[in-house]
């Protein structure tokens, strides 16, 4: 059975391989499952900004003006996710250290939008978030008082869902550790709505599947499978859900490639009519979503580019 993770980059310094740590072979070959480097993916990168594959005929939404996120273009480092904080100018991203490349894992950084792009990413207040292990897929509630992320241990490509909190704007974040009710270290991604009222997460379940949870006590309830998006035998992950719960963007790994899809919400736990999106899935490259703007018009996503499978942060606009 297929088993991918969001993160093709190995925390132990190995190359960005597919299989257990998430990639797909850029040469169209079958995904590997041993965590090793991909096959020959050194073909030329598709440099077009909107080079869809034939799945654009499937009736899904179309995106245009796909491009690297201004200000967050970083050469030769892996960038795993970017998520905004409410309606404000701040985003949190998880990435290797942009300045010196001394880390082979990833940590949490913040950046602020200004002018035509974002400023240089910096660690958020509270350096204990970025421990000696690695963090991925951080997302904060709209008030920027709680942050959730995947905490990896050692060279693992899956981890626990941790939470950090702070008492006031600008104060340092303090890590609380694993979120109560979400036990285990089999999680690959976490996403919450603005208030944290709905949590969507990716978890090992034979294959990778998308789950849903809601607050319970001081933590969250045991997650349940989301209906309508988990196709048998495939891996689904990277759920990005609109605030009205009517739209979910997610990634599906099938046939050796990872593609962004969209489904229509019936409720917070049930979605239907999933389709491929158009304009975000170039041939011979892999993509997954990380955030949708509050107005629903801009999708932020990761695109695997280059001979080494470097992950870059991109954005594109929804065509009305």
Domains of the chain: 19-39+53-318 (2.120.10.30)
CA distance 25 to 130: 30
Q: Give the residue-averaged pLDDT of 297-301.
A: 96
Least confident of 54-58, 156-160, 196-200, 218-222: 54-58
Least confident of 74-78, 115-119, 303-307, 315-319: 303-307
CA distance 110 to 87: 15
The b-or-e profile of 209-229 (16+ CB within 10 A means b, else e) is bbbbbebeeebbeebeebebb
Greatest distance between any 2 Cα atoms in the chain: 52
If we measure between CA atoms, which residue out of 7, 19, 169, 189 comes closest to residue 86? 169
Query: Is 29's pLDDT higher than 50?
Result: no
Least confident of 1-5, 214-218, 247-251, 298-302: 1-5
Query: Is 197's pLDDT higher than 80?
Result: yes
Residue 99 confidence (pLDDT): 52
Total residue count of the chain as it appears in this document:
320
Given a contact cutoff of 8 angstroms between Cβ atoms, the answer to whether 258 and 4 are in contact is yes
Residue 55 confidence (pLDDT): 63
- Average pLDDT in the chain: 80
Q: Select the highest-mean-pLDDT range: 19-23, 92-96, 177-181.
A: 177-181
- Tokens 């409720």 — which residue? 267
pTM above 0.85, yes or no: no
- Tokens 């179309």 — which residue? 62
Residue 97 confidence (pLDDT): 64
Residue 128 phi/psi, 5-degree rounding, is -70, -10
């Amino acid at each position: 059975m297929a088993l991918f993770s969001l993160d093709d980059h190995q925390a132990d310094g190995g190359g960005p391989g597919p299989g257990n740590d998430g990639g797909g072979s850029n040469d169209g070959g079958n995904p590997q499952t041993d965590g090793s480097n991909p096959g020959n993916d050194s073909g030329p990168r598709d440099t077009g900004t909107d080079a869809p594959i034939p799945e654009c005929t499937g009736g899904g939404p179309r995106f245009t003006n796909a491009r690297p996120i201004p200000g967050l273009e970083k050469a030769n480092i892996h960038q795993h996710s970017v998520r905004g904080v409410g309606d404000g100018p701040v985003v949190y991203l998880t990435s290797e250290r942009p300045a010196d490349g001394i880390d082979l894992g990833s940590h949490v950084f913040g950046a602020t939008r200004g002018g035509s792009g974002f400023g240089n990413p910096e660690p958020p207040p509270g350096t204990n978030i970025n421990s000696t292990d690695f963090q991925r897929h951080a997302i904060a509630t709209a008030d920027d008082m709680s942050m959730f992320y995947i905490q990896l241990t050692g060279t693992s490509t899956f981890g626990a869902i941790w939470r950090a909190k702070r008492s006031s704007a600008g104060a340092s974040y303090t890590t609380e550790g694993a979120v109560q009710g979400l036990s285990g270290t089999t999680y690959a991604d976490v996403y919450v709505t603005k208030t944290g009222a709905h949590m969507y997460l990716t978890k090992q379940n034979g294959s990778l599947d998308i789950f849903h949870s809601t607050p319970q006590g001081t933590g969250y309830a045991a997650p349940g499978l989301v209906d309508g998006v988990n196709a048998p035998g495939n891996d689904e992950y990277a759920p990005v859900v609109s605030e009205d719960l009517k739209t979910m963007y997610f990634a599906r790994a099938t046939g050796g490639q990872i593609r962004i899809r969209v489904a229509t919400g019936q409720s917070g736990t049930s979605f239907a009519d999933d389709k491929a999106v158009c304009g975000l899935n170039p041939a011979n490259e892999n993509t997954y979503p990380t955030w949708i703007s509050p107005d629903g018009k801009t999708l932020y996503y990761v695109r695997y580019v280059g001979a080494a499978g470097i992950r870059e942060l991109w954005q594109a606009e929804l065509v009305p």
